[in-house]
Amino acid sequence: MLHVFKFGGASVKDAPAVRNVSAILRSFIDKKDKLVIVVSAMGKTTNHLEDIFKAAKSKQEDKFKQILKEIEDFHYALADELFDGEREKIVYKILQKYIFQLEATLKDDEPNWDKHYDQVICFGELMSSAIVSEYLKKQHDDKCLWIDARRFVQTNERWREGQIDWEWSEQLIRAELLPMLEQRFVLTQGFIGGTIGGKTTTLGREGSDFTAAVFAYCLQADGVTIWKDVSGILNADPKRIKNPHLFKQINYSDAAEMTYYGATVIHPKTIRPLAAKGISLYVRSFVNAEIEGTKIGNVTTSPSLPSIIVKGTQSMLMFKAKDLAAINERNQLAYIHSELNRHNIKINLLQVSATSFSVCTDNDERKLAALKESLNNDFELSVLNNLELITVKNYDSKTLNNFTNLGNAIIAQRSEDVFQVVVRK
Ligand SMILES: Nc1ncnc2c1ncn2[C@@H]1O[C@H](COP(=O)(O)OP(=O)(O)O)[C@@H](O)[C@H]1O
Ligand SMILES: N[C@@H](CC(=O)OP(=O)(O)O)C(=O)O
């Protein structure tokens, strides 16, 4: 059996967590399963890298030094807890090299913000994979092989949201990984890819789930398991709603719909490649590895229970045409759509009236400022921040009353089975 496993930031956040990953893998390694393991940056490292990147860009020298030290100390302390002797020295050397490269990359004067971001943010996954792979080597007779995902997950130059070159990636992955997997198991990084010119790209925040799907698709794996701090897919985020219901199985399209609306448990791009090849995706708990969790695949039954999905940090953009006479002269909506697309701004909800358009989208100040600038001649654009988009799939009146905070609603829409409301936080 060939499995792709993904361990996210929470599952490798400290030394006990890394030990737990190794323990989970034990039975699969003993069974001689072929394994590709994808890991994310440890804990909240990616957020810290974003902070240090902003500090570097705005020349905040003290803040820059302080965060770099924190990132360095965090990884060294973890290595200190997990290793000793020669292996500890090896890990220290690798970490030292990455910290040095990180600092040098931060000091580059790359004018393209997004391109520079990708060259910096990748270090979280590089450091994490170095530590985890060395630990797995130590625990599993040196059977773990570290590979650099940037050599295999080939993308175009769409910085921060690299689009996969599926054919090229598949060729590379199959040609090199299949023979490797005969002897050993492979560990690599989520979230990062590489261009033909040798630059690093990232696949969008929280994109490591998608990396697992890319490897699974290319290798025609028997299954993908993403190990989370929850027991599987629930009908609501347990951080928001008490005692949610665990779905044992969901079909691809319902799962894709949930992630599209904002269920953060799986990255939205993960489902499609797996559905294309009929590969099942399992969501299981790294805290309680004996629980079966959720199977997403070609299953016949899917949930009819209401699911509540909350997408935070939303902004409402309201476009009002400056020249009302022009409204009927050209397709304003198509024009706004194309501008949103050009700035890579995704519409989460849209409302159209005779003279204005309102769009609910993820808050991204830089993208929104660029959009405002480009539409300035034709539209007045006002922006409302600090909003949430609440979606209830398979809604009933009890769920709407209890969970949608309708008193704070700005816009509400309903179709036969989906209710959506944008509310002030
Ligand atoms: N419908 C849902 N079912 C389960 N978990 C959910 C759901 N919606 C949101 N979550 C949240 O997703 C989290 C797991 O995703 P995430 O933190 O991104 O994992 P990782 O970083 O390990 O990949 C859970 O802790 C939970 O709070
Ligand atoms: N480390 C990246 C990618 C990722 O997917 O992380 P996680 O698996 O912890 O959500 C991020 O935080 O965006």
pLDDT in tens, 148-168: 999 999 999 999 999 999 999
pLDDT the model gives residue 324? 67
pLDDT per residue as tens digits for the range 352-388 = 887 778 999 999 988 899 998 888 888 888 999 999 9
Two tokens, residue 194: 């590489």
To test the pocket of ligand 2, the residue of 12, 39, 208 to mutate (highest count of ligand atoms within 8 Å of its CB) is 208
Res. 328 pLDDT band, cuts 50 70 90: low
What ligand 1 atom has the least distance to the C-alpha of 228? 22
Q: What is the pLDDT of residues 171-183, one digit of tens each?
A: 999 999 999 999 9
Ligand 1 near 348 CB (within 6 A): no
Query: Would the CB of 306 count as within 6 Å of ligand 2?
Result: no
Residue closest by Cα to atom 2 of ligand 2: 206
Which of the two residues, 379 and 21, has the higher pLDDT score? 21
Task: Give 26's contacts (C-beta < 8 A, 6+ positions apart).
Answer: 140
Cβ contact 343:379 at 8 Å: no
Domains detected in the chain? 2-228 (3.40.1160.10), 307-424 (3.30.2130.10)
Q: Of 62-76, 349-363, 399-413, which one has max mean pLDDT? A: 62-76
**DSSP letters spanning 129-157:** HHHHHHHHHHHTTT-EEE--GGGTSBB-S
Name every residue whose Cβ is closer than 8 Å to that of residue 60 and which is 6 or more positions away in sequence: none
Nearest CA, atom 13, ligand 1: 265
- Give the confidence band of 303 by pLDDT, cuts at 50, 70, 90: confident
Ligand 1, atom 26, residue with closest C-alpha = 237
Phi-psi region of 344 (alpha: psi -120 to 50; beta: other; left: phi over 0): left
pLDDT of residue 331 exceeding 60, the answer is: yes
Centre of ligand 2 to C-alpha 165, Å, is 21
- 135, 22 Cβ separation under 8 angstroms: yes
Once rounded to an integer, what is the mean pLDDT over residues 116-123? 98
- According to DSSP H, which parts of 233-364 are helical? 252-261, 271-276, 332-342
| Mean residue pLDDT across the chain | 94
Q: Is the CB of residue 262 below 6 angstroms from any atom belonging to ligand 1? A: no
In this prediction the ipTM stands at 0.98
Q: Tokens in use for 421?
A: 């409301």
C-alpha distances in Å from residue 47, one per residue of 52, 158, 382: 9, 21, 28
Q: Which amino acid is at 400?
A: L
Taking residues 275-284, what's their average pLDDT? Answer: 98
391: pLDDT strictly greater than 80: yes
Task: Please state the rounded mean pLDDT for residues 35-57.
Answer: 98
Minimal-distance CA residue to ligand 2 atom 11: 206
- State whether the beta carbon of 9 lies less than 6 angstroms from ligand 1: yes
d(CA 198, CA 281): 31
Cα 417 to ligand 2 centre (Å): 31
> Ligand 1 centroid vs 61 CA: distance in angstroms?
35
More confident residue, 208 or 356: 208
* Distance from the alpha carbon of residue 329 to the mean position of ligand 2, in angstroms: 45
211 CB near ligand 2 (under 6 Å): no
Ligand 2 and 207: CB distance under 6 A: yes
- Pocket mutation for ligand 1, best pick of 233, 250, 264, 291 (most atoms within 8 Å of C-beta): 264
Report the run of H or E that residue 223 belongs to, with start and end: strand 223-228
